[in-house]
Structure formats: structure tokens, C-alpha cells
Amino acid sequence: MTQPFAGTPFDLTGRAALVTGAGVGIGSATAMALAKAGAIVGVHYHSSKDEAAETLVAIEKLGGRGILLPGDLTDETAANRVVDTFHAFAGRIDILFNNAGNPLTRSTIENCPTDLWKQAFDVNVHSAFLVTRRAIPALKASGNGSIINNLSLSVQTGGSGGAGPYAAAKGALQVFTRTLSKELAPIVRANAIMPGVVETRHHEVFTTAEKMEDYRRQTPLGRNSQADEIAQTVLYLASDASKFVTGGLIDLNGGRFLR
């Protein structure tokens, strides 16, 4: 594989990256981007088995190396197995992209069932905690450890249209990122990204076509983002190009919301 970043701070040759939720959307695009930069990639999936297999095939066609890692990350045994299997395969873990997450369903807080609230935190926070905790020793041993957590614009908006439980969980993930950046420095860096509206299957399921067009009109850059654009920011945070960045949060919303 021709390595486009060879000899640059973005070169990940010899490093290993675990990407959760790598079957579709941002996860799949990021797995591809990290592989193109030279990383060995762990392609985790829960329900998107066929799509994850396609992602791995695409990585291998590029001359990259990776492994499929099935598992329900809300289960501690399964989460540990995903991390341990990848560590055994790659011999190291340098990069962890906690991307797996799901809004599940929409509900106002007033009408939110307790089980839905708990599930939102299990899927979007508890899973990242389990994977991260298991991976920390390997990330420390790496010497180049980098954790990137995928948040959501709902952290800033409060979650529109019944996305409050999801927004609250993603907000907790933001605080988790800051905690990791303090506890693991200077050995491991931890940062987060906050994508706006991305043209992925996620919005095909949870957002109407009319609403997607409305989002485009609201965005100064005149469009929604693509998954591969988000992936390039993850690559930056995973690489030595960001070696003085930790505890950070990068907005990726085309200027639609400013902080």
C-alpha cells in the first residue's frame, strides 16, 4: 500500500488503532483513514456484521491489515474480549476511537421510561468506559497513546426532538474525556470530536429528508458533512500532528453553531 503520510506527523505506520462501531458511517470511514495512514485496525461491530466485513475487505484491498471484532460493548465480558483480542492480534494498542453509540429512540424527559434512560447511558457512556478501562494499560505502554471520543452536536443543543437521553449521555462522555486527559497525562492523550449533521445512515434512520435539507440551509458552509471529513479529524487527533493536544474538543458542524 502506498502510504500518503509517510515521513509526516500523520504517519501511523507500526501503530494499532481500535475503532468501535466501525461497520458503518463515521466508524467505517475512520477505520479506512487510519489504515491508509499505516495503522493496524481493529474493526469492531455489534449488529453491522456485513458492513464491518466490507470495511475490512476494503482495508485489505489497500494493503492494510485489520481484524473483525464482534461484541456488545455494554457487556463487560464482551468489551474486555474485544480489547484483548485486538491486543493479541496487533501486539499493541496505540489509538482508541470510542465511536460506538446510538440514540435508540426519541423521548421527552417527562415521558422517558427509566429503562430507556439507563440504556442510553449503557450504549453511549458505559460501553466507552469499559473499553477504555481495559485498553489503558496497553495505551500507556504504547508511548503514543491517544483516545478519541465521538460526541454529538446534541451536547450543545440539548438534544432536539426527544434526543435528550442521548444528549445527556454524550455530555457525560465529554466529561469522561476531560477526566481521562487529566488522569492519563502525560503518557496518554484524550480528546473528543463533536460532529454536526453527517450524511450517514444514522440520519437516514433518525432524521427526515426535509429536516436534513433544513440543516443544510442553516449551515454557513451550505451543506452537511461527510463521514470521511470527520475521519480526517480523528486521524489528526490520533497522530503526532496533535501531540500537544489533550482534553480538547473539536467542533465539526460547518459553522452552524459557534461556542
The neighbouring-strand residues paired with 40 are 16
45 is catalytic: no
3-class DSSP assignment, residue 45: strand
Question: In this structure, how many other beta carbons lie within 10 angstroms of the beta carbon of residue 245?
Answer: 15
CB of 18 closer than 8 Å to CB of 86: yes
Q: Which of 45, 166, 215, 236 is catalytic?
A: 166
Taking CA atoms, 103 is separated from 130, 147, 207, in Å, by 19, 22, 12
Grid look-up 515521513 returns 7
Taking CA atoms, 125 is separated from 54, 59, 101, 113, in Å, by 27, 28, 8, 18
Q: From CA 238, how far away is CA 129, in angstroms rounded?
A: 19
- Catalytic residues, by residue number, are 166
